[in-house]
C-alpha cells in the first residue's frame, strides 16, 4: 500500500501534485513529462538513473527537469526527519498547450529551453533558489482547503505564476553582470520585498550573492545599511497608511513586515517620536 506522502495532494489528467512531510523516501517516475520539485528541508539527497552517485540537495532550492524517455529518480532523507518538498509533475502536452509555441518565437524559445533542461542550473553553476514570492505561493497551495473545481482552478493559477517567476528569475540572472552592480541588485530586491520578513541573510540567499559583499557594497553605494533602508521604506509606508485611516494598526504592522504589533509600534515611535495610535488620533 502506498504511503500517505506518495498519494497525490492533487491529480488530474495533466498534473499531479505531491507534498512531502511524512516519508523518508520518495520515488519519482517520469516519461515525456516535466517535474518541478521545491526542496523545503535540508536533509534531502537525490538518486537518478542518469547520475552515478547521490546528490545532496540544498534547502530552499528547486529543480525543473524534463525527461522524454522513461526514468526513475528517488528522494532520500539523510536524517531521521521526514523530507519536506513540493513536487509538481506536468504532462508534456499541458506545458505545450500552456505556452503555445506557435503563438510567438518567445514562447517557442521558452519551451525549447525547458525541453533542453536549461532551467536546472542558475548561471550554469547551481540549482536556483526559491524566492520569497515563490514561498508565498507554495504556502497558499499547501495550506489551501479547497476541493474539486476550486482546488483545480487555484492550483493551475498558481502553477502559471510559479512558472512565470522561474522564467523571470533565469532571464534576470543573464543580465545581472551587465546591467546592475551588487548594490543595485540588492536595492531592487528590497524595493520589491521590503514588506516581507526579510534579513540580509535572506537577501543574499535569494540572490545567490555573498552576504558580506552585499552589506559592504550597499553601504558604500547608498551611505545607509540594508536594515536601515528596509526600516526607512517600512516606516514611510506605515506613516502613509496611518494617516489614510483605512487600516487597523495591526493590519498596518503586518503589511509593513512586522509579525508583532509592539515591535512595530516601538520602531515607529523611535523613527517619528510618536506612537502609531497617537498619530492616528491627531
195 domain residue, yes or no? yes
CB 29 within 8 A of CB 87: no
For residues 120 and 199, membership in a common domain is answered with: no
For residues 216 and 157, membership in a common domain is answered with: no
What's the grid cell of residue 252? 498596518
For residues 186 and 78, membership in a common domain is answered with: no
Which of 130, 148, 178 finishes a domain? 178
CATH number of 229's domain: 1.10.10.60
- pLDDT the model gives residue 17: 95
3 domain residue, yes or no? no
CB neighbourhood size of 226 (10 A) = 22
Which of 178, 212, 230 finishes a domain? 178
56 domain residue, yes or no? yes
User: How confident is the model over 51-94, as pLDDT tens digits?
Assistant: 555 677 888 889 898 888 888 888 988 888 888 999 999 999 99
Distance CA 268, CA 263 (A): 9
CB 120 within 8 A of CB 67: no
CB 158 within 8 A of CB 137: yes
2 domain residue, yes or no? no
- pLDDT the model gives residue 88: 95
Residue-level length of the chain: 282
Q: Are strands 44-48 and 15-19 parallel, antiparallel or unpaired?
A: unpaired
Q: Around 3, how many Cα atoms within 13 Å sit in the side-chain half-sphere?
A: 13
Number of folded domains that form the chain: 2
The string of DSSP codes covering 219-243 is HHHHSS-HHHHHHHHHHHHHHHHHH
User: Which parts of the chain fold into alpha helices (H)?
Assistant: 92-99, 105-115, 132-142, 148-179, 182-193, 200-207, 211-222, 226-244, 249-255, 261-272, 276-281
For residues 203 and 135, membership in a common domain is answered with: no
For residues 119 and 254, membership in a common domain is answered with: no
For residues 165 and 188, membership in a common domain is answered with: no
Which stretches of the chain score pLDDT less than 70?
1-6, 49-54, 121-126, 172-180
**pTM score of the predicted model:** 0.61
Which of 153, 178, 203 finishes a domain? 178
- pLDDT the model gives residue 177: 45
Q: What is the residue range of 152's domain?
A: 10-178
- pLDDT the model gives residue 87: 94
For residues 164 and 223, membership in a common domain is answered with: no
- The distance of Cα 132 from the centroid of its chain, to the nearest Å, equals 5
5 domain residue, yes or no? no
For residues 170 and 112, membership in a common domain is answered with: yes
Amino acid at each position: 500500500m502506498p504511503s500517505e506522502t506518495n498519494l497525490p495532494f492533487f491529480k488530474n489528467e495533466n498534473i499531479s501534485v505531491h507534498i512531502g512531510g511524512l516519508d523518508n523516501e520518495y520515488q519519482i517516475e517520469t516519461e515525456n513529462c516535466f517535474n518541478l520539485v521545491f526542496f523545503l528541508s535540508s536533509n534531502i539527497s537525490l538518486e537518478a538513473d542518469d547520475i552515478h552517485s547521490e546528490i545532496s540537495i540544498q534547502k530552499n532550492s528547486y529543480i525543473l527537469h524534463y525527461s522524454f524517455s522513461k526514468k526513475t529518480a528517488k528522494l532520500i532523507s539523510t536524517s531521521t526527519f521526514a523530507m519536506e518538498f513540493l513536487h509538481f509533475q506536468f504532462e508534456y502536452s499541458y506545458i505545450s498547450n500552456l505556452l503555445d509555441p506557435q503563438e510567438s518565437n518567445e514562447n517557442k524559445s521558452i519551451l525549447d529551453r525547458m525541453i533542453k533542461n536549461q532551467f536546472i542550473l542558475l548561471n550554469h553553476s547551481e540549482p536556483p533558489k526559491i524566492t520569497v514570492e515563490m514561498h508565498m505561493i507554495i504556502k497558499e497551495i499547501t495550506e489551501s482547503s479547497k476541493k474539486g473545481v476550486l482546488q483545480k482552478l487555484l492550483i493551475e493559477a498558481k502553477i502559471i505564476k510559479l512558472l512565470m517567476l522561474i522564467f523571470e528569475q533565469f532571464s534576470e540572472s543573464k543580465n545581472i553582470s551587465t546591467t546592475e552592480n551588487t548594490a543595485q541588485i540588492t536595492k531592487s530586491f528590497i524595493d520589491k520585498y521590503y514588506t516581507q520578513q526579510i534579513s540580509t541573510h535572506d537577501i543574499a540567499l535569494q540572490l545567490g550573492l555573498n552576504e558580506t559583499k552585499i552589506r559592504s557594497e550597499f553601504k558604500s553605494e547608498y551611505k545607509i545599511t540594508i536594515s536601515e533602508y528596509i526600516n526607512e521604506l517600512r516606516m514611510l509606508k506605515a506613516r502613509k497608511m496611518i494617516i489614510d485611516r483605512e487600516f487597523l494598526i495591526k493590519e498596518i504592522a503586518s503589511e509593513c513586515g512586522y509579525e508583532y504589533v509592539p515591535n512595530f509600534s516601538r520602531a515607529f515611535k523611535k523613527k517619528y517620536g510618536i506612537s502609531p495610535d497617537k498619530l492616528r488620533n491627531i
